[in-house]
Amino acid sequence: MLRLHVAKPAQPGPFPGVLFFSDIYQLGEPILRLVHRLAGYGYVVAAPEIFHRLEPPGTVLTPGGIGRLRGNHDARHTAVDDFDRDTKAVIDWLMDQPEVQRDKLASMGFCIGGHLTFRAAFDARIRASVCCYPTGLHDGVLGDEPTDTLQHCRSITGAVLAIFGSRDPHVPQQAREQILTAFATSGLRYHHLVFDADHTFMRDDGPRWDPQASDEAWAASIGFLGAQLSGNSSSASSSASTS
């Protein structure tokens, strides 16, 4: 059974809805802090357990060591179609909630969740997507077999914000250039930011956390979501930032 962690503002809605994807470690405290931070800006946020077919309910994997191996194992043994089915199920769920503005849906995700967020944008109901250091987007590595996610840019009707770290070994410069070239040549409406930071720099429980870059990335993300969901958006552009 697919389980969701749902966070929303304390005051009455309705609010825009956000489908939120974790990294491979699922919904541990660092990720839940991100979920609740986003909800605090005025969003109903629904975060699924991405490996619910393989892990017991409530499973949280410990970063590094065995946890990383187990998370990567779960990713390799989940069918891409199953990821996509879960995405549709959560979007459908958000659409059914009375406190959610059905015409204002977005997605946000980190690492593998950044890749899943990009795929969520294939659904026309998603108007804005924030993909934070998306792994496997450039080479099609996601689930139990290679996928051609990046080849479907033209099917996305919403806008995309891609956030990268310049020192990210999982999305190095060549991979970023491949991703951005695909964005630009497809006509996708997008923005991108590159911070002088490592992979998973927005996660606050390890040595790679960069609070300054994280705060800047959050400010950009909230501004982007607000502009896109309000209809006050701009055309495709590319920008870069370092911190």
Output the pLDDT for position 166. 98
CA–CA separation, 217 and 241 (whole Å): 9
Reported confidence tier of residue 48, pLDDT bands at 50, 70, 90: very high
CA 159 to chain centre: 13
Which amino acid is residue 31, in one-letter code?
I
Output the pLDDT for position 55. 97
At residue 237, does pLDDT exceed 50? no
CA–CA separation, 182 and 191 (whole Å): 13
Evaluate whether 53 touches 76 at the Cβ level (below 8 Å): no
Residue that is written with structure tokens 């357990």 in the block = 49
Reported confidence tier of residue 239, pLDDT bands at 50, 70, 90: very low
At residue 234, does pLDDT exceed 90? no
* Mean pLDDT across 70-80: 97
Does pTM surpass 0.85? yes
At residue 37, does pLDDT exceed 50? yes
Domain 4-230 sits in CATH at: 3.40.50.1820
List of E strands, the chain: 4-7, 15-21, 44-48, 100-110, 126-132, 159-165, 189-195
